[in-house]
Amino acid sequence: MTELLFREDAYLRMIDAVVVAHTAEGGVICDRSLFYPTGGGQPGDSGQLVWNEGRLQIATAVKAEGGQIALVPAEPMAMPPIGTIVTQQLDWDRRHRHMRVHTALHLLSVVIPLPVTGGQIGAERGRLDFDMPDPPEDVQMLEDRLNALIGLDLPVTDSWISDADLLANPGLIKTMSVQPPMGQGRVRLVRIGEGATQVDLQPCGGTHVARTAEIGRVEIGKIEKKGRQNRRVSITLMD
C-alpha cells in the first residue's frame, strides 16, 4: 500500500519518494504520496515529479489496486524508472483551496442539518446536495451563520475509530450517497472545534485546513432544485 502522507500532514508540499511501479494506463506509483487521489467529491492533486534525468507534470492522482495511488501524467512523456528516487512537488495553491472549500462544506452541513445526498469540491467553489423538500426561507441568514462559524477560528483535528464503532454509531454519517472509507479496520473522523466548542464530527478521508479562519469568507450562491426533494447549495471562496 502507498503511504498516505497527505493524511498525516495536509501541509506537506514536497517530499522524496521511490517509484515502485507503473500502471498499464501510464501512471506512476510511489512508495508514499503527497498527492490526494480523487475521491469523496475531492479532486486528485496536481504537481510534478522531479528526478536527476527528468521532470514529469502530474495532472491528477487516482486510486489504484491494492491500496496504491497512481500519479497520472499531464501528457505522455518518459516516466521515471522503477527504483528511481523522485521529488514530489505539490501544486500547493490548488490543494490549499481544496482544503478551504472542503472544510467550509463540513461547516455548511452544520448550518443546514439535513442529510447530504451528494457533493463536489473545487478550487474556487464547492457544493452539497441536501435532502431538502422546501427551499430555505433566508439564504442570507445561512451565509451569515456559516461565516460566523468560520470566524470562530475553531481547530480542525482528526482521530480514528474502528469500522465496528462507526457501524454502531450511524448518526456520525451525514452523506447518503458516499459511504465512509471502510474496509481497512478503522475510519478517520474529522472534528471541528473541541470540547464545548465542537460543532461537527464526521468520517472523512479528505484534506482540511488546521483552523476554520483559514477558510476565509465564503458566499452562498443560488440554491438549485435537483429532483423532487434534492436541493443544491453552492459556496464560493471570496478570496
The whole-number pLDDT of residue 227 equals 83
The whole-number pLDDT of residue 183 equals 54
The whole-number pLDDT of residue 174 equals 64
The whole-number pLDDT of residue 180 equals 57
- Assigned C-alpha cell, 211: 483552523
Domain locations along the chain: 3-90, 95-237
Give Cα 107 to chain centroid, integer Å: 14
Residue 38, CA distances (Å) to 69, 70, 103 in order: 10, 10, 16
**CA 37 to CA 45: how far, in whole Å?**
7
Please answer whether residues 107 and 178 qualify as being in contact, where contact means their C-beta atoms are separated by less than 8 angstroms.
no
- Assigned C-alpha cell, 80: 521515471
The whole-number pLDDT of residue 222 equals 87
CATH superfamily of 95-237: Threonyl-trna Synthetase; Chain A, domain 2 (3.30.980.10)
**CA 223 to CA 5: how far, in whole Å?**
36
Full pLDDT tens readout for the chain, 239 residues: 899 999 999 999 999 999 999 999 999 999 999 999 999 899 999 999 999 989 999 999 999 999 999 999 999 889 999 999 999 999 999 999 999 999 999 999 999 999 999 999 999 999 999 999 898 989 999 999 999 999 999 999 998 877 677 666 766 666 645 555 555 667 889 999 999 999 999 988 999 999 999 999 999 998 999 888 899 999 999 99
The whole-number pLDDT of residue 162 equals 76
Please answer whether residues 68 and 37 qualify as being in contact, where contact means their C-beta atoms are separated by less than 8 angstroms.
no
The whole-number pLDDT of residue 199 equals 96
* Residue 5 host element (H or E): helix 5-8
CA-angle at 28, arms to 66 and 3, nearest 5°: 50
**CA 100 to CA 113: how far, in whole Å?**
20
Q: Residue holding cell 474502528?
A: 162
Helix boundaries (H) for 80-206: 92-111, 139-151, 163-168
**CA 34 to CA 207: how far, in whole Å?**
11
This prediction has a pTM of: 0.92
Q: At what angle do helices 92-111 and 139-151 cross, to 10 degrees?
A: 120
State the distance between the two ends of the chain, measured CA to CA, in whole angstroms. 37
We find that the CATH architecture of domain 3-90 is: Beta Barrel (2.40)
- Assigned C-alpha cell, 32: 508514499
